[in-house]
Structure 1
Amino acid sequence: MSPASDALGALPILIAVGGAALTSALVTWTSRPLLQRYALARPNARSSHRILTPQGAGIAVIAATLVVASVWAVWAGIEIPPALIGATVLIALVGFADDVVTLPVLVRLVLQAAAVAAVVFTAPETARVVPALPFPLERGLLLLGGVWFVNLVNFMDGLDLMTAAEVVPVTAALLLLGINGDLSWPAALIATALCGAMLGFVPFNRPVAKVFLGDVGSLPIGLLLGWCLLELAWRGHPAAALLLPAYYLADSTLTLLRRIVRREQFWSAHRTHFYQRATDNGFTVRRVIGEVFALNLVLSLLAVVAVRAGVTTITMLALLAGAIAVGFVLRRFSLPQVS
């Protein structure tokens, strides 16, 4: 059996998850004093934290993910697209610059679009989600969707452990799909390494957080996760690719639309996401994170069932169940808690 065919065996997976977790934790711990000096997140009216907290530990998460996935890929004889690696580094640098000195919105968007474009337009022409669409139109829509996904992951990273509660179940589900042959090997490797790296970050970000990911973490995490989901859609499973991030998609998109309708400056910081409203409505941070994590476990199960069943009826039922579950949690978050 070749190394490639055994890449997703139990031992390599455990080594990859453990190595990424250890690397992430070690880099986070050693970099925290520097972040404390140069990259402090100051609380304001829109913040969920109340004390000065260093940000930028996403450097550790992204470094651990890329290093572990790359070493694993070399050992297994698998090629991770160079454009993805380069785009991830670029968007991480953009995020780091924004963490230290705030960049103009237009500059951020242009650089983010360049990173997403590098991933989308270097993909094989055979990679299609909706073959009925003209190829240039589909790639243009994927570019817009990719930029939005990168930013929505950033927008949703506003509560201790929120990104971990999203990324860990989603990447674990992607790993399971990779083991079953429903996801490309490079995407499975990236997802596994990212899962481990996020687990290594958890002890530092649990309430009350000692350090935040910062844009240097949330933006490239959005890019890597978005690419893994796109790979899943390209493999013929678009429903699962929508189910896995359904909570993030719903919370961020509905919030954006609501702000546009109200003619607010939707690009500026705010506290109107459903998860933020939940804390204002009496939910504790731990309860919000717990419910989001539980919801993502349900969505991950539905996605895996839909893929493995391969039956249109079951896929539609899974999508309906996912929509109901997400709607239920959003509704709960939007209502004041009865004491």
Structure 2
Amino acid sequence: MGTSLVALLAFMSATFGCALLTWALMPLLARYALARPNARSSHKIPTPQGAGIAVVAATLVVTTFSVGPTTPAFLGLIPLFVAAIVIGIVGAVDDIRPIPVLPRFALQALCVGAVVLTLPSDQQIIPALPLWLERAALLIGGLWFVNLVNFMDGLDWMTVAEGVPVTAALVVLGLLGALTQSPMLLAAALGGALLGFGPFNRPGAAKVFLGDVGSLPIGLLLGWCLLQLALQGHVAAALLLPLYYLADSTLTLLRRVLRREPFWLAHRSHFYQRATDNGFSVREVVGLVCLANLALAALAGISIALNSGAADGILIGVGSAMVGALLMRFARCKGVTL
């Protein structure tokens, strides 16, 4: 069976599997896992959360059978899958009964660290760096990426608008030979699962949320796929694909730190959240984010095609300017121009 057909089957299986499992879980989630509005929330009434269980389960099961549970490639995925399950359990507990900040970050760091430390010792992004230094940087970066995906999951369809274009781009890059088969198939399954979750999370009619049980492992799985792209030598592409999420979360964190705000507490100061306060509808926000991600995916593809350090610098500059323009647009009242 051809690789492209396997990827298509993985995508479709995860889509339908996630949709069916989400539908089956909804009565249970409505009974035991209601998300009540807080300072960070965009919803006004208690809404079930925890559909991330379906997304992650569909992703892991479909990837297992797509890669082959008896193959050496699957053995390499076991630390990632175990870490995703554990970090999902941490998120599930936090959804029901909030865990204090330090224990929560410590548990997340253990999961990310397990993935980073089990990477083959001959795999490095920057060979000139000492291995321990690069692994330490990956641990910090991985922990931040897991949390920023969680932070950005504050609007209906937001994670879908981010995850589907990024995973689709990873699949295309894999089919073109820029990414190995395991992360490509994982991306196909994750993108399909997010698409299957989408109808239950429609703006204005959301019946269920992902919850931390979904956003945290999704961040880990997506971050691992991007790391594999970087390890293949495509660092610029790996930065361009999630650039909107990286920019919104990082700039928001820095702004809150500089203002000496308790940045670890729930808030509504991300650019995408400010956009809804400034007159943008939820559909407009997620639509613009999705379009930005598609444009970033195109830049990532150009980066890989040109394979030039100078071109990478220019493309990252173009992507940064585009994302910066969108963030400034979100920060102003709708209809206000410079």
Q: Give the AA of the match of 2:95.
A: D
Say whether the 8 Å CA contact 2:39–2:266 is kept in structure 1. Answer: no
1:19 equivalent in structure 2: 13
Match of 2:318 among 310, 318, 321: 321
State the Cα deviation string for residues 282-319 of structure 1 (Å, max 9, x = none).
00000000000000000011001101221223222211
1:246 has 2:240 as partner: no
Equivalent-residue separation in structure 1 for 2:254 and 2:147 (angstroms): 15
> Comparing 93-102 with 289-298, which one deviates more in the overlay?
93-102
Equivalent-residue separation in structure 1 for 2:237 and 2:62 (angstroms): 26
Gaps of 5+ in 2: none
1:308 equivalent in structure 2: 305
Gaps of 5+ in 1: none
What TM-score results when the alignment is normalised by the length of structure 2? Answer: 0.96
Distance 1:283 1:229, change over 3 A: same
1:33 has 2:39 as partner: no
After TM superposition, the runs of 4+ consecutive aligned structure 1 residues lying more than 3 A away are 75-78
SS in 2 for 1:99: helix
Equivalent-residue separation in structure 2 for 1:44 and 1:157 (angstroms): 14
Share of identical aligned residues, percent?
58
Match of 2:102 among 77, 101, 106: 106
SS in 2 for 1:160: coil
**CA RMSD for the aligned pairs?**
1.3
Equivalent-residue separation in structure 1 for 2:7 and 2:226 (angstroms): 20
Tell me the CA shift for residue 14 of structure 1: 2.2
2:92 equivalent in structure 1: 96
Equivalent-residue separation in structure 2 for 1:288 and 1:13 (angstroms): 30
SS in 1 for 2:68: helix
Match of 2:120 among 119, 124, 131: 124
SS in 1 for 2:17: helix
Q: Give the AA of the match of 1:228.
A: C
> Comparing 304-313 with 261-270, which one deviates more in the overlay?
304-313
Residue pairs, 1:47-86, within 5 angstroms: 47-74=41-68, 77=71, 78-79=73-74, 80-86=76-82
State the Cα deviation string for residues 204-258 of structure 1 (Å, max 9, x = none).
0111211000000000000000000111111101111100000000000000000
Tell me the CA shift for residue 44 of structure 1: 2.5
Say whether the 8 Å CA contact 2:296–2:319 is kept in structure 1. Answer: yes
2:210 equivalent in structure 1: 213
Equivalent-residue separation in structure 2 for 1:314 and 1:40 (angstroms): 48
Tell me the CA shift for residue 338 of structure 1: 2.9
Equivalent-residue separation in structure 1 for 2:185 and 2:266 (angstroms): 34
The aligned length equals 333
1:168 equivalent in structure 2: 164
Q: Give the AA of the match of 1:157.
A: D
What TM-score results when the alignment is normalised by the length of structure 1? Answer: 0.96
Match of 1:198 among 194, 201, 206: 194
1:281 has 2:275 as partner: no
